[in-house]
Structure 1
Amino acid sequence: MTASVPAALPHGERWFDDGLYTSVTDVAHRSPGWLDTAVSVWSTYGLFLFGALLLAAWWRARPSGSARAALALAAPLVVLATFVVSTGLKALLREQRPCQTLHTVTVEACPALGDWSLPSNHAVLAAAVAATLLFTDRGLAALAVPAAVAMGASRVWVGAHYPHDVVLGLAVGAGVAWALMAGARRATVPVAERLGTTRLAPLVAKR
């Protein structure tokens, strides 16, 4: 485990969930090493699962109809756009990491100063994927939704984020992706029909 760098927030500010953050990191500090390792691995590499779910959703959509497959193809672009929104929010809000502002011990090394905390990009991406799957594959969405919550919780456990970073990240990811997918759904039928007449037809229909 790595001790975070203690520092004070400007003007003595404190977040309402400081206590919850320190309680979680204290439990993590006292937990078995194997559990911290498992959570850390999930926190670091779990996003690959969400990428695999996007790919699986597209693959499963191909036999079911070109419009749904075209929407599944749009999903990664929606997730990317949601990430851009999240990055912009980080630059605007400029919240330091909790491990930079509180006296606590964290499972993972604290990110450097200026690596902003709010919202959690991991939570944003996980929630965005879950939201797109609600449009393209409800079966996979049933796996992605709890996995997104688990991803967000893991970011607090390892000490990288306040709980409110994660909550806002989940809300931003789900809200932006839902709105973009709702808009994309209206365009998928003509796009799919056009692709179906080209060499790219296998992208939207199984042959």
Structure 2
Amino acid sequence: MTFEDDELYRDITGFAHDTPTWVQHTVEVWTEAGILLFGALFVAAWWRSRRGSSQAFAIAVLAPVATVVAYVCSELLKSGFTEERPCRAVAAAVPSLAECPPTGDWSFPSNHATIAGASAVTLALIRRVIVWLTAPLALLMAFSRIFVGVHYPHDVAAGLLLGAVVAATAVHLGRRPATRLAEAMRASPAPAVRWLTGPGPAMPPAAAAYAPSHRRR
């Protein structure tokens, strides 16, 4: 299956070839390294949530899981649409900056854009203000996939939307059971489990005096 945005693809990839070499190399690095940055943000969100409420901790843990679910959905869609990569299919286009994936590694939707959209939304669910960081990062990652020549514009638009919707839905559906699990784990006598989930919010001195001894260690 194909869509008609070949001209826009040619315009963007032509612009990419006209940019300085350092810009091209920076985008080539970012298009892959951006996923690592989102991963680091997930780790930071988990660490911070260890001193938050059980629900906040549950959402922080669900965020990367929901992103993986969105990625799996994008892979399933790829196998259904079997759209050839534009770096191979678009006539009169300049060569892609990144190596063109082989036939069988289909184009629609973009996995990178799906991960970016899912990460941006779920991180914002953990802490709303961070959307001012995650949304631009997701858009930059999506655009980079066109810039380096391995995706059509509609691939990344669909990926962003798919990732955002699927991941937000997964977090919504899993929030309550994950919160109950977090509460149970925080009550566990096992030190490793309590370290993983964190102590939760700091208790007032009066309440701490009546807390079970294993919660005060």
TM-score, with structure 1 as normaliser? 0.89
Are 2:111 and 1:118 aligned? Answer: no
Name the amino acid aligned to 1:79: T
Cα deviation, residue 68, structure 1: 0.8
Give the 5 Å matches for 1:66-105: 66-102=54-90, 103-104=92-93, 105=95
Residue 107 of structure 2 aligns to a residue whose secondary structure is: coil
- Could you tell me which residue of structure 1 aligns to residue 126 of structure 2? 136
**C-alpha distance in 1, partners of 2:87/2:81?**
17
Structure 2 SS opposite 1:46: helix
- Residue 205 of structure 1: aligned partner: 198
Superposition deviation, residue 14 in structure 1: 6.3
Matching residue of 2:139: 149
Judged with a 3 Å threshold, the aligned counterparts in structure 2 of structure 1 residues 151 and 35 are, in CA distance, closer, same or farther, namely same
- Equivalence for 2:180: 190
- After the TM superposition, which of the residue ranges 131-140 and 32-41 deviates more from structure 2? 131-140
Count residues with an aligned counterpart: 195
Which of 10, 22, 39 lines up with 2:27 in the alignment?
A: 39
Q: Distance in 2 between matches of 1:155 and 1:119?
A: 11
- Report the CA distance between 1:187 and its aligned residue: 1.9
Of 118, 140, 163, the match for 2:153 = 163
1:127–1:14 Cα change, 3 Å: closer
Is the radius of gyration larger for structure 1 or structure 2?
2
Which whole-Å CA distance do the structure 2 matches of 1:80 and 1:15 have between them? 27
Q: Distance in 2 between matches of 1:39 and 1:172?
A: 23
How far is 1:148 from its partner? 0.4
Look up the SS of the partner of 2:149 in the other structure: coil
- Superposed CA RMSD: 1.5
Equivalent AA in structure 2 for residue 89 of structure 1: L
The one-letter amino acid paired with 1:26 is G
Q: Distance in 1 between matches of 2:2 and 2:104?
A: 18
Task: List runs of 5+ in structure 1 lacking aligned partners.
Answer: 1-12
**Correspondence for 1:56 among 26, 44, 49:** 44
Percent identity of the aligned residues? 41
Query: Residue by residue, what CA displacement relative to the aligned partner does 1:101-127 show, whole Å, maximum 9, x if unpaired?
Result: 113222112111111000000000011
> In the aligned structure 1, how far is the partner of 2:58 from the partner of 2:195?
11
Query: d(CA) in 1 for partners of 2:37 and 2:52?
Result: 23
CA displacement, residues 52-81 of structure 1 (integer Å, 9 cap, x when unaligned): 111111111111212211221122211111
What amino acid sits opposite 1:83 in the alignment? Y
Deviates most, 196-205 or 141-150 = 196-205
TM (norm. structure 2) is 0.85
Q: Distance in 2 between matches of 1:42 and 1:101?
A: 24
